[in-house]
Amino acid sequence: MDDHVTPSTALSLSELPNVEMDGLPLRINRTPNGVHAKDTLSETDLDDPQLYLNRELSHLQFNIRVLEQALDDAHPLLNRLMFLLIFSSNMDEFFEIRVAGLKHQMAMGDDTTAADGRLPKAVLAEISDIAHQQIARQYKILNDTLLPALEQQGLRFRRRAQWTEAQKQWVHEMFNNEIMPVISPIGLDPSHPFPRLVNKSLNFIVELEGKDAFGRAGGMAILPAPRSLPRLMALPKALCAEGYSEYIFLSSMIHAHAEELFPGMRVRGCYQFRLTRNADMTVDPEEVSDLASALRGELLARRYGRGVRLEVADNCPDDLTNFLMRQFELDAEDLYRVEGPVNLTRMMSVLGDVDRPELVYRPYTPSVPKTLKISSMFDSIARNDVLLHHPFQSFSPIEELLREAARDPNVLAIKQTLYRTGAESSIVSALVDAASQGKEVTVVIELRARFDEADNLQLASRLQEAGAIDIYGIMAYKTHAKMLHIVRREKGELRHYAHMGTGNYHSKTAKLYTDYSLLTANKALCADVHKVFQQLSGMGRARKIDTLLHAPFTLHERLVEMIDREAQLAQKGKRGHIIIKCNSLTEPKLIKALYRASQAGVECDLIIRGMCCLKPNLPGISENIRVRSIIGRFLEHTRVFHFHNDGKSETWCSSADFMSRNMFHRVETCFPLLDKKLATRVRKDLETYLVDNCQSWLLQNDGSYRLQDPGDSDAISAQETLLYAFASKS
C-alpha cells in the first residue's frame, strides 16, 4: 500500500473525538425536546420566503468553495490548478443551464418567483455581480499565484513577448504546417454575414486596414480557431530553458500570425472571444416517437443555442465588444473581460502531460474486502451483504461481478441501469459479452443524462448490436436509479443477486467520487429491484414495493414521514436526531419537514456538498440544524439518510438528492441497510464527516459559508481519515 495520507489530518477511527453513535453533541440544543415545541410549530409560517436561500445563488457559493481550493496550499500545486479549472468548467455549465434557464423564463414572460421570493430578473442581476467578481478573481489567482508557483517548479506557460527566436521559428513552422491548412478566416461584408459560432469555441475578432485582392476595403473579420487542434502545445524539450517544461497556447500562435491570414492588409487588432450558449435540451414526450432520433437532432441544435455569456480579451476595444454583443443579442451584464485564455478548462491537458509526482496527490490503491478475494463473487454475496465505500474501496468488484456473470453458464439474465458510464466502459463491455453469449441482457440506459447524451447513444447502439434489449426509460422521467439484477440457477432453483448504489457505473469517477455500493442476495431487496425493472420495461399500475423506497412513488412521502417521526418523538420528550448527507437540498416540503423537526428539538446534522436552500440557525425555526459542506480531494457524492428513531435507528442509501427533480421527475431508489454491522459502519463514516475541521464549510443563515478552523484542536480531515482507515485494512 502506498503511503498516501497526511498524518496531521488523518486520524485512526479510534482516535476520533468521543461521540455518541446516534447523536453528536456538536452544539447546544436551544429548543429542548418537548418544551414549547408545539406552540412554536403552530405560530410559524414555513412558507415565508425569508426562510429560504436562493437555489442559483447557493449553486454559485458551491463554485466559490471550489475556487477557494486553488488557494489552499494543503493541496499539491497541480491539484490546486485542477480546482481552478474545475471552477471554470462548473461556471460554464452554470451559464449553459442555470443562467440560460432564467433568461428563457424572462423571455417567456414567466415571473414565477423562486422559493426566496426573488424574481428572475433580480436573480440574474445578482448572479452577474457575483460571477463577474469571482471570474476576475479566478484569473487573478491564475496569473498572480498559480502561474508564478508553477514556474518556480519548472512549468512555464510562455506568452508571445517571452518567446525566444528559436521558439518563434518553431511556432512559425507549426502555424504553417498544422494551423494554416485548417483555419478559415471570415471577412465580414454583405456577402459574408456573421457566422454561426459553436458553443464555447475559441474565436478572434480582427480589425483590418487596407484592401484585399478583390478591392474590398478593410473592416472586420472573424477567425474561428480549428476545433481539431489542441488549445495548449508543449514546446520540444530542446527549445525549453534548462530545467523547464514550457507550453504555448494555440490562441497565442494564431494571434502572432494573424497578418499571414490576411496578406497585404494590416491587422490593427486581434482579440480572442468565446460565446457560451444555452445548452439545455428539451424533448416533448407527446411529440416524440423515437427518443434516440430526437436526441440526435437536439445534440446538433445544442451547439447553436441562444447566447448567454460573452468572454473577451480584457484589451478588446469597446466598439468591437459592442458589435459582438449586438450580434449575440446580449447586454452589458453578460460581458466578461478576462486577463488570459478565454477557455481555461483546456489547460487540463497539462495535468496528464506532466510527470511530476511531487506536485500531485500521492497515489493510493483502493482496497478490496478480503471476503471478495477468497471465492467467487456469487458465493461471497450469498454469505453476507457487502458494502463498498468508493473511492476508498475499489469499484472493481462490481466490474468483476458482471464479468463473472457474463461467463457463468448458470447465469440466465442480467438487468442493469446506466446513467453515466463513460465512452470506454468496462461495465458495457461485460454486458456486451453476456449478450453475445446468449444471456438475457436488458439495459435501461438513460439517453438524456446531461452532456453524456452522445456517449449513451453510442453505447446503446453497441449493446443493441450485441443482442441486448435496450430500454430508454420512461419519457416523462429520467432513470437515475443505480441498479443491477442478476438471475442465476443454483441447485435447481433461481437465485437473485443485486447491486444498488449511490453513484454511477463509471470506473473513472469511482476513483474520484465518494459513493456507496451494496451487493446483496437478500430476497426482499432483490424482489423489489426485480419489480422496479419490470415497471421500467413493461406497462401497468405501480406494483407494491415492500423494502425499497421508490421515486416518483413512495420516496418523498416516506422521507417526510421519517423526518416528522423524529419530531413527534422529540415532542414526547425523547431524543431525536437526523443526519442527511447528499449533494443538494432544495425541495420545499423536505425543508419544511426539517424546520418542523428542529422546532420540536430534533438535532439535524446536514452534510450538503452543493446547493442548499435551507437556512440554519434561525431563532425558533432552525437553531437545531447545522449544515456543512465538505470540499476536498474527492467529490462528495454519497446520499445517506439516518434517523435515530428512538434508538431503533434506520440508515438508508439512495441515488436521489433532496431535490424536486429527484423526488418527482426521476426514477430513483432508496435502500435500507438491513445488516446492522453495515449500518453501524456507515454511521461511523457520517460521524467522521461531522468532526471534520479542515475541509468542512459551515453554512451561515445569510447564505455564506465559513471554513472551520481546527484552532488548537487536532486537525481532522474526514477524507484523509477514511483513506487511512481503509488503507490499513487492505
Task: Say if CB 348 and CB 85 are below 8 A apart.
Answer: yes
CA distance 693 to 713: 9
H or E segment to which residue 232 belongs? strand 232-234
**Closest C-alpha to 31, from 679, 655, 699, 570:** 570
- DSSP secondary structure letter of residue 616: P
Q: Which amino acid is at 153?
A: Q
Contacts 24+ apart (CB under 8 A), 200-203: 200/92, 200/274, 200/275, 200/276, 200/277, 200/343, 201/225, 201/227, 201/274, 201/275, 202/231, 202/250, 202/251, 202/272, 202/274, 202/342, 202/343, 203/272, 203/273, 203/274, 203/275
> What residues does 717 pair with on adjacent strands?
none
From residue 198, how far is each of 102, 203, 278 by CA, in Å? 21, 10, 11
CA distance 265 to 273: 22
DSSP string, 354-414: ---GGGSPPP---B--GGGTSS-HHHHHHHS-EEEEETTB-SHHHHHHHHHHHH-TTEEEE
CA distance 318 to 378: 67
Cell 465580414 found at: 188
Report the chain's terminal Cα–Cα distance, integer Å. Answer: 8
DSSP E strand boundaries for 24-83:
none
Total H helices, total E strands in the chain: 21, 27
From residue 32, how far is each of 40, 319, 602 by CA, in Å? 12, 64, 9
Task: Say if CB 234 and CB 171 are below 8 A apart.
Answer: no
Q: What angle do CA 433, 671, 381 make, to 5 degrees?
A: 50
CA distance 701 to 369: 42
**What are the catalytic residues?**
480
